[in-house]
Amino acid sequence: MNPTSPHPLPRRTWRRTRPRPASAATLVLSLIALVLGLSPAPAQAASLLQVTGFGSNPGNLQMFQYAPDNLPSGAPLVVALHGCTQSAGDYYSHSGWPKYADTYGFAVVFPQTTSSNNANSCFNWFQSSDYTRGQGEALSIKQMVDYAKSHYGSDSSRVYVTGLSAGGAMTSVMLADYPDVFAGGAIDSGIPAGCATNLSSGLTCQNSAVSKTPAQWGDAVRSASGGWGGPWPRVAIWQGTGDTTVNPANATEERDQWTDVWGISRTPSSTTTLTGGTTQAVYNDPNGKPAVETFSVSGMAHGLAVNPGSGTDQCGSTGTYYLNYICSSYWTAKFWGLDGAGGGGTGSLPAPAGLTVTGTTDTTVALAWSAVTGAASYNVYRGGSKVGSATGTSYTDTGLGSGTKYTYTVAAVDSGGAVGTRSSAVAATTTGYQPQCFTDNNYNQVAAGRAHQSLGYVYANGSDQNMGLYNVAVTHTLEETSSGYYVIADSGCPS
């Protein structure tokens, strides 16, 4: 986190796929590729991949992404920011976010800075050219969001940002600069927005914390946002009480900042004791929905709270600054409603129970659910976006693509039009398959998961047709005739 002194976290080597030792066969293939003058094999689907050309990138950052296989359009998007001397790969490997991306169905963008930006690879949260809306690193991260939304069809109303240490401080920056982009955030061992204006004041914020009135903190957000009037992001704040790197008093200042922005009381609406010595305090908005939550982890030093294991509420792996207390990523995802159990409603009606898929065709999905007392109608959401409404307890979604996976939730609406809590999500895949065609060079066909390479040659997945040398000079059109089965179709494809 410290912008001048070396961060105690040891440097790690970035990996483009899930960490695993290279096999002898992989090494042989790599040597053959080098002899043939070919590029190394790229990472496959459902792994951490680098994206280039995502925008003008004024902050000179790198973009990495993780997207589960068969991610439907309209899914949420999470941006996860690493700490000083860490990398996108390091955060990907330890934080637990890939687990919940797979479980709940959303994409994750992992921005990465380098030593050319900052000697310790910190995000420059304290530097005006990087923390100002429309400039530097802040704009680069926003451009990554724009890229992900356009390529994955991510739901623009469900974009979230989180980060650790310097990444936590940069999370504060992004929430203040772009409340029109982010629906929520989670600041882990971070700094309030607007605390620092240069290197020296950044050190003061980090080591001693800066005390301001809630209104002063709130004004810092309102000023940074460019005149945004709401709605405001819902913010979770994580802090270890034993942190000697970032003064724990910063968590209180962050709470004051965001409760003032929301115009709500600094007295918790509820307080709960969680695992790992964690105390959760909830600050509700005027409609009784959590707007700000704080998670104080007793005795935890500087780092991200993880809790390795196979349970739903367990995640991540331990390491330097990844500390075994509680899975912060699980509770953050739950707070944002990514688990499908909440979010999106302002009314008092409960979530409909028993949402099920009652039938599918190649273009339709039929749904049914249990009635909610007091409901005048029900909103139906596909991938987080409303697609229709019903006065009864069933609905058929039409005009869908064949052989495509979709996710649905339902919310009850009272007679006054107030929308209640959304149901748990269900997934449905339409029948049949609509052939698709992809024209690209052999290298990119492999990178996209439509083909594979062996001994310097490329073969179409499924049909195993030989496509020629593994390089960017050879181009083919592949037709996907069924899910995951590709044939060469250079002579033409169905329109």
- Residues with active-site annotation: 165
From residue 86, how far is each of 10, 185, 233, 244 by CA, in Å? 8, 20, 26, 19
- Copy the structure tokens of residue 100: 């919940």
- Copy the structure tokens of residue 59: 């902050």
CA dist., res. 383 & res. 287, Å (int): 24
> What is the H or E stretch that residue 160 is in?
strand 159-164
Strands 475-482 and 485-488, sheet pairing: antiparallel
Cα within 13 Å of Cα(461), Cβ side = 18
The helix/strand count (H/E) of the chain reads as: 11, 26
CA dist., res. 431 & res. 439, Å (int): 25
CA dist., res. 266 & res. 249, Å (int): 15
Report helix, strand or coil for 124: coil
| Burial readout 138-149 (b: 16 or more C-beta within 10 A, e: otherwise) | bbbbbbbbebbb
CA dist., res. 412 & res. 418, Å (int): 8
CA dist., res. 476 & res. 237, Å (int): 50
